[in-house]
Amino acid sequence: MLTAILALAAVALALSFVLAIAARVFAVDVDPRAEKIEEALPGANCGACGLPGCSELARRIAEGKADIDACPVGGAAVARAIAAIMGQDFAGGGVRRVAMVMCNGGDESARRRFWYNGVRDCNSAALLFGGDKSCAYGCLGLGTCAGVCPFGAIDMTGAGLAVVDPARCTGCTKCVDACPKGIIRMVPADRTIHILCSSHDKGAKTRKVCAVGCIGCMKCVKAAPEGAIAMDRNLAVVDYEAEIPPEIAGECPMKTIHVRKLDGLADLDAAAGGER
């Protein structure tokens, strides 16, 4: 019994020397700045920067191989913190960009062309006639975008629409890539006027399939300041650089123009009820 214990103790002692030597021989120099930068990053490991995770980005920034504002999620605040760690200046900033689903045709406004009984995923549904929505450009409402959002920023309304909460959205653009309909756009978070439609169909066709779709009548284009709203193949598109007064919403006969309130999320909650 005693010999067994002594033998094990001897082995343990020998191995501890081996480990001590290995620790010196194989030591990896970790840039202390990389560790600090990693702490400053959001730690979501969302991959929006194009790298496998936050620690990889931290390492690259410390090595000077990535920009200090390479994390789209962290935005200006994180970039400023990293700039301080790196002893650099960070002048940028500007307005945060958030995702927005450019469709307001929920079930009460747009029809379903057929009864879909397949995989509950927008990409799968789009394989069959582009999905069951009457409008070829409309949100299918199966929530693939909500599923990929690492920040839980997308809610599905009872009417089958995806709605991004600008307060929770970090601007990582994952949802933009995931949507088979290509109807999610990145918009400046401080803008209030949005045209919630993506249909390039001619007006007569749009009117048939959706009660709130842009019919290309150009009333908003004429009422808005010069160049602030432009037509792109039967669809009115807002230039987010321009200032547009909220009264513009009243010009649209289809009620497609949405005025987003910036104080709180009351309007988004109302959206769940179907009116926005």
For other proteins, the binding residues (CB under 8 A) are: 113-114, 117-119, 121, 123-124, 127-130, 132, 136
35 CB contacts (<8 Å, ≥6 apart)? Answer: 58
Q: Residue 162: which of ligand SF4, other proteins, none does it interact with, CB under 5 to 8 A by kind?
A: ligand SF4
- Using CA of residue 133, residue 136, residue 138, residue 139, what is the dihedral sign? positive
Q: Residue 139: which of other proteins, ligand SF4, none does it interact with, CB under 5 to 8 A by kind?
A: ligand SF4
Q: Residue 15: which of other proteins, ligand SF4, none does it interact with, CB under 5 to 8 A by kind?
A: none
99 CB contacts (<8 Å, ≥6 apart)? Answer: 153, 154, 164, 169, 171, 173, 175, 176, 184, 185, 186, 187
Distance, CA of 23 to CA of 210 (rounded, Å): 67
Of 102, 237, 210, nearest to 163 by C-alpha is: 102
Taking the complex as a whole, how short is the minimal distance between the CB of residue 97 and other proteins, in angstroms? 24
Nearer to other proteins, 60 or 200 (CB): 200
Nearer to ligand SF4, 178 or 259 (CB): 178
Q: Residue 62: which of other proteins, ligand SF4, none does it interact with, CB under 5 to 8 A by kind?
A: none
Nearer to other proteins, 125 or 193 (CB): 125
Paired with 156 in beta bridges are: 162
Q: What is the dihedral of CA 39, 43, 46, 49, to 10 degrees?
A: -10
* Whether the Cβ atoms of residue 240 and residue 191 lie closer than 8 Å to each other: yes
* Whether the Cβ atoms of residue 164 and residue 100 lie closer than 8 Å to each other: yes
Nearer to other proteins, 3 or 117 (CB): 117
* Binding footprint of ligand SF4 on the chain (CB under 6 A): 99, 101, 122, 139-145, 149, 151, 153-154, 162, 164, 169-175, 178-179, 181, 183-184
Q: Residue 3: which of ligand SF4, other proteins, none does it interact with, CB under 5 to 8 A by kind?
A: none
Nearer to ligand SF4, 97 or 219 (CB): 97
